[in-house]
Amino acid sequence: MTRFLRRQGWVAGLFALLVFLFVITKLIQPGYGSGDFGSLARAVLPYAFAVAAQTVVVIAGGIDLSVAAMMALTSVTAASMMNGASEEYAFFVVPFVLAMGLVLGALNGFLIVITRVPDIVVTLATLFVLQGAALLVLDAPGGAAAEWLKATVVGTMPIPYLPDWADAWVPKALVLLVVCLFIVWIPLRRSRLGLSIYAIGSNELAAFRSGVPVARTRIVAYALSGLFGALGGLSLTISTGIGAPIPGPYLLASVAAVVLGGVALGGGKGGLLGPIIAVFVLRLVRTDLTLLAIDPNVTAIIEGAIMVAVVMFGAFITIRGRPAGATP
């Protein structure tokens, strides 16, 4: 138990913070119930996928600045493909968009490997490229989403042998999120590939000398990031019913949640659970601010300030944790 707590201390603390925030929410708004939790889960969905995308790359020792642009591109692609098409056509659109995310993500990794330009510059360039491509697909918010897809995030999941009141606290959006993340993450974490991703993040040279195919692993990490980005883009289209070519504030939010979730920005440390809880924390703070009847624009300022503070704190921890005299 102590070993578990020591290893998962950060995540456990974060979870306690989340519970604490729920208590506060309940105090501010005594009527806060399962319906509000459902809308929180829906709001979290795109952020959670953005964070998952960022987490994989950060663990591999990189950073992906193109997350938000990737979401915008996949979102407009899905929305414009489903616009005016039949319901069944969406069965083709979803795998197509996911494959697109995978390929574009792999392209990011491929460019980093062959040009040997640092991650931050390559993904900055692909940020421009993907943003431009999103504008080419749709130059203004528009498109549509299939009804059955929209239904996957609305309402709750009926689970057998569970009383109705408990059922009400299991929104479909949450189930979708957990299922999508676990299908990808759990097998990855247990496989050789997952270990390689951690290895190249913690010490690239040591990983290389132990026979880890560094270049291939890096490409795979970026491809997975692209896949999660595409999931995020799809969830945006599904929950809003349209696609918007201008990326939302997902880049900064993803970095902030990664830092808050206990994933070291240097790479090699942390898991997916912490960042996902961190997203819930950040979204719940926003809900609380809204419930306190604060002007939405002021909320945006406070939220931005919190995210910047979190990133500053994370960077501060990183310098303190570094052995004295080490080059940054």
Partner 1 sequence: MTNSATLPQPAPFGRRLKRFMADRPIIPLIILLVILVMILQILRPGIVNERWIANTAKFAIPLAILAGCQTMTMLTGGIDLSVGTVATMSAFIMATQIVNQDPAVACVLAMLPALLIGLVNGIGVGVFRVHPLIMTLGTSLIGTGFLQVYQRTVIASGARIPDFLNWLGTGLTYGFPNALFLFVPVAVLIVFTLNRTGFGRLLYAVGDNEHAARLSGVRYWQVVTALYVISSLLAGITGLLYIGLIKAPSLSLAEPLVLPSVAAAVIGGTSIFGGRGGYMGTIIGALILTVLTTLLTILHMPEGGRRILFGFIVLFVTAAYLRIIEDR
Judged by beta carbon, residue 156 or residue 254, the one nearer partner 1 is: 254
d(CA 316, CA 323): 13
CB of 225 to partner 1, least distance (A): 17
CB of 125 to partner 1, least distance (A): 4
Judged by beta carbon, residue 16 or residue 121, the one nearer partner 1 is: 121
What are residue 142's DSSP bridge partners? 243
Q: Are 47 and 276 in contact (CB under 8 A)?
A: no
Q: Are 224 and 184 in contact (CB under 8 A)?
A: yes
Residue by residue, DSSP assigns 138-181 as -SSSB----HHHHHTTSSB---TTS-HHHHTT-BHHHHHHHHHH
Judged by beta carbon, residue 2 or residue 297, the one nearer partner 1 is: 297
Provide the token pair at 224.
């997975």
- Intra-chain end-to-end CA distance of the chain, in Å: 35
Judged by beta carbon, residue 285 or residue 311, the one nearer partner 1 is: 311
Residue 325 DSSP symbol: T
Judged by beta carbon, residue 185 or residue 222, the one nearer partner 1 is: 222
CB of 129 to partner 1, least distance (A): 4
Judged by beta carbon, residue 180 or residue 255, the one nearer partner 1 is: 255
CB of 136 to partner 1, least distance (A): 4
Judged by beta carbon, residue 90 or residue 111, the one nearer partner 1 is: 111
Residue 49 main-chain phi, psi, to 5 deg: -70, -40
Buried b (16+ CB within 10 A) or exposed e, 148-177: ebbeebeebeeeeeeeeeeebebbbbbbbb
What are residue 171's DSSP bridge partners? 156
CB of 140 to partner 1, least distance (A): 11
Name the helix (H) or strand (E) containing 101. Answer: helix 90-115
CB of 280 to partner 1, least distance (A): 20
Judged by beta carbon, residue 291 or residue 311, the one nearer partner 1 is: 311
CB of 300 to partner 1, least distance (A): 4
CB of 275 to partner 1, least distance (A): 15
Residue 243 DSSP symbol: B
What residues make contact with partner 1 under the rule CB under 8 A? 63, 65, 111, 115-118, 120-122, 124-129, 131-137, 139, 245, 249, 251-252, 255, 265, 295, 297-298, 300-301, 304-305, 307-308, 311-313, 315-316, 318-319, 327-328
Provide the token pair at 125.
């360039």
